[in-house]
Amino acid sequence: MQADSSTINERRSYITSISIIGALFFIFGFVTWLNGTLIPFLKIACELSNLQAYLVTFAFYISYLVMAPPSSWVLHKIGFKNGMAAGLGVMAIGSLVFIPASYTRDFSLFLAGLFIQGSGLALLQTASNPYITIIGPRESAAKRIAIMGICNKVAGTISPIILGALILQGANELMESAKLMTGPEKTIILDNLAQRVILPYVIMAIVLVLLAFMIRYAHLPEVDTDNEETVTANRNSKKTAWYQFPHLILGFITLFLYVGVEVMAGDTIALYGKSLGISLDQSRYFTSLTLISMVVGYIIGIITIPRIIRQDKALAFSAILGVLFTLAALFTSGFTSVVCIALLGLANAMMWPSIWPLAIADLGRFTKAGSALLIMGIAGGALIPLLYGSLVDVIGNQQAYWIMIPFYIFILYYALAGHKIRT
């Protein structure tokens, strides 16, 4: 009877932990996928070129490269739970930076706010991703991460719609009017446009602070990653650092490339649609199409992994789909091509859930350091869209999507062979 009671309590604690981490992944998605709306918004409000506009994703995602190593140190000092709460607090500070940025229409301040938000997310993700991976059985880790992915992408589907309705309403007409104006009259219109982001970001800051307090006082069991199982300890007895794990290094490269193509599919699609003659009032919703297709992919993953297909096979299939949808986008036109870019969300959906458990497998006491390295891989979302933006100005929006093909091929290599390398 006592054993049954203990099992029930463990099950209840497990469900509570999953629910809390699910709420955090919802926040990841809500904040992260606002960038797809911010790019066309700031392009108008701050009068930016294509390359400058994609500095939005650069500032946000480069913070992962800079802040992931300190995040690992912080987690060693204060633990997973306190690290999550601290990350939410840092994100709230980044949201508040949007207030002076809006009043001054200073693009560099907007970028600073995005960098601070990304820094908070780096700490939050360095804590929560390994936590959800190792809190339950390893073979079902991809399924748990897929559930988190649904929380993330449902939020990501909602956030561009909400923010788009608040800040891009009538943007086409305003943009055309601004082209005909000069001097103070144009400045007033653009200032008023820039200040539309103040209210949503103030509300976001308040919600983030409340969540930080909730996490701080919630019952989340700490997961000990420093003590290894006997088999893992014996295998790692001669290891002295994370860089001695080839499958982790290759996993970092794979994650870097994956995040790059995922961000491209979500954050470039609005401007891509606009380049094809689709009005901004319509194309502002295209990011949500990408994320809806990702949610469909996550649901498929939850149903099939590991019951029908293994994590590595799911990753291989996803990479092949990525190549096919990219080629379809390149060789079609109009709304059909846009839909193919949106369908990359389906191809990308199971990549993150599959890469993580494959990359941190058998790390033992090096799990936190390995997780920090993988979080640094999120910087792919900073550099690859920026590369795309620079190519757009030279060869056009559609042809610039060619850069995704070799990235998907490398992901396929990791799924088939790279994750198996141990020496």
- CATH of residue 388's domain is 1.20.1250.20
What integer pLDDT is reported at residue 239 of this predicted model?
A: 66
Domains: count for the chain:
1
The residue length of the chain stands at 423
CB of 269 closer than 8 Å to CB of 342? yes
In the predicted structure, residue 64 carries a pLDDT above the cut 90: no
The pLDDT of residue 327 is above 70: yes
Q: What is the rounded distance in angstroms from the CA atom of residue 248 to the CA atom of residue 245?
A: 5
Whether the predicted pLDDT of 2 surpasses 70:
no
Domain presence at residue 224: no
Residues 144/136, Cβ–Cβ less than 8 Å: yes
Instruction: Give the confidence band of 323 by pLDDT, cuts at 50, 70, 90.
Output: very high
198 domain-assigned:
yes
Q: 78-82, 225-229, 247-251, 391-395 — which is least confidently predicted?
A: 225-229
Convert the pLDDT of each residue in 204-262 to its tens digit: 999 999 999 988 887 776 666 555 555 555 565 566 777 788 999 999 999 999 999 99
In a domain, 391, yes or no: yes
Cis amide linkage into residue 130, ω under 30° from 0:
no
Look at residue 228 and tell me if it is in a domain: no
Q: Are 295 and 154 in contact (CB under 8 A)?
A: yes
Domain presence at residue 236: no
Q: Read off the pLDDT band of 317 (50, 70, 90).
A: very high
Domain that holds residue 313: 2-219+243-420
Q: Between these two residues, 141 and 301, which has the higher pLDDT value?
A: 301
Round to whole Å and give the CA distance between 110 and 121: 17
Residue 227 lies in a domain: no
Q: Give the confidence band of 101 by pLDDT, cuts at 50, 70, 90.
A: very high
Residue with more model confidence, 246 or 8 = 246
Q: Which of 23-27, 175-179, 335-339 has the lowest mean pLDDT?
A: 175-179
Greatest mean pLDDT among 3-12, 157-166, 346-355, 403-412 lies in 403-412
Tell me what pLDDT residue 16 has: 78
pLDDT of residue 252: 95
CB burial of residue 332 (10 Å; 0-12, 13-18, 19+): middle
Q: What is the pLDDT of residue 206?
A: 95
Residue 237 lies in a domain: no
Give me the mean pLDDT over the 292-310 stretch.
Answer: 86
pLDDT of residue 404: 97
Longest CA–CA separation in the chain, Å: 79
Tell me what the mean pLDDT of segment 317-335 comes to: 96
282 is a domain residue: yes
